[in-house]
Amino acid sequence: MRLLTPALPLLALVLTLSGCVRHLGAPTGDPAALPDTVPITVVRDRVYTPDDWPQALHASVYRPKAAGHYAAVLVVHGGGWARRSPADMEDLSRWLAGHGLVAVNIEYRFAPTYTFPAQLQDLQMAMRWLHVHADEYDIDRTRVGAWGYSSGAHLVALLATVASDADNPLNQPHGGPVTRPKAVVAGGTPSDLRKFKGGELVPQFLGGDQRRIPAVYAQASPVTSVTPNTPPMFLYHGTWDRTVPEDHAEDLYQALRANGVDSELYLLKGRGHVATFLFGGGAEKAGLRFLERYLNAPGEQ
């Protein structure tokens, strides 16, 4: 059960619309069956940041109980870069672990106390921690992906695009190739922060109004930093999303395709931002299949 409970009319509407999807870039043929679930174990609240980090941050690790050599997924929650917690992603993390992946569900610093790029640097440090402790959690370092929703989706998409470009200044001082996920699933993604003309969440995250710091808005937007080396991305989005309009997903998808990056866009018709998070089952299953396609074979990061 998700942490947010919708009213019954919304639930009825979502169930009515559950078959209304548009899936661009999907493989042809029938979808592969998901693997059977397996028993899992959870290690909670491991500090993943160095002692001198501005704030101690924690990760919980969800993994199959049996010993193995598993692909892993960095899991990042939403909340406008300013609230919520990894508890929002617990169900997803358990589900991923039950399907044979190690899910590393993290917290990160919040705006306005900490502004960009602090949150990106937290993710970069989490990826480094994951690699250092890979043997402890039976993780295959060559098979690490990322999954986020809303502001968490923005952060995993930015993590991927930044790490894929050696010349991107946001790689300094904590990024680099080791922080590049092999594949990404991102839902409700704010891909172009320049499109937000009002409200307080984006300005407090970036440290000012767009008229004052336009270059920061561009730098913080994943759509501006896609390269041919960007890892494959699966994007899912509700067509009734008024918090992050659908064109954010469409723009990022087009930028990925224009650079020859394997990508898929899964649109849930009639879903808003919260409903897509609460009832994204079809998208989540397709996202898991996408991850398995890119993470199921060992290879270079």
Determine, yes or no, domain membership for 3.
Answer: no
Under DSSP, the state recorded for 108 is -
Q: What is the pLDDT of residue 297?
A: 58
Q: What pLDDT is attached to residue 296? A: 86
Which of 42-60 are b and which e, b meaning 16 or more Cβ less than 10 Å from the residue's Cβ?
Answer: eeeebebbeeeeeeebebb
Nearest to 108 by CA among 45, 152, 64: 152
Residue-level pLDDT, tens digit, the chain, 301 residues: 233 333 434 444 444 444 588 888 778 676 766 777 899 999 999 999 999 999 999 999 999 999 999 999 999 999 999 999 999 999 999 999 999 999 999 999 999 999 999 999 999 999 999 999 999 999 999 999 999 999 999 999 999 999 999 999 999 999 999 999 999 999 999 999 999 998 999 999 999 999 999 999 999 999 999 999 999 999 999 999 999 999 999 999 999 999 999 999 999 999 999 999 999 989 999 999 999 999 985 554 4
Whether the Cβ atoms of residue 149 and residue 140 lie closer than 8 Å to each other: no
Question: Does 209 map to a domain?
Answer: yes
In a domain, 235, yes or no: yes
Residue 112 lies inside a defined structural domain of this protein: yes
Residue 226 lies in a domain: yes
> What pLDDT, on the 0 to 100 scale, is given for residue 22?
84
Residue 250 lies inside a defined structural domain of this protein = yes
Q: Is residue 1 in a domain? A: no
Token readout for 98 is 């039950």
Confidence at residue 38, expressed as pLDDT on a 0 to 100 scale: 94
How far apart are the C-alpha atoms of 115 and 121, rounded to whole Å? 11
Q: Give the H or E element holding residue 273.
A: helix 273-278
What is the count of structural domains for the chain?
1
Tokens of 191: 């891909």
CATH number at residue 197: 3.40.50.1820
Q: 141 lies in which domain range? A: 8-295
- Supply the pTM of this predicted model: 0.91
pLDDT value, residue 74 = 99
300 domain residue, yes or no: no
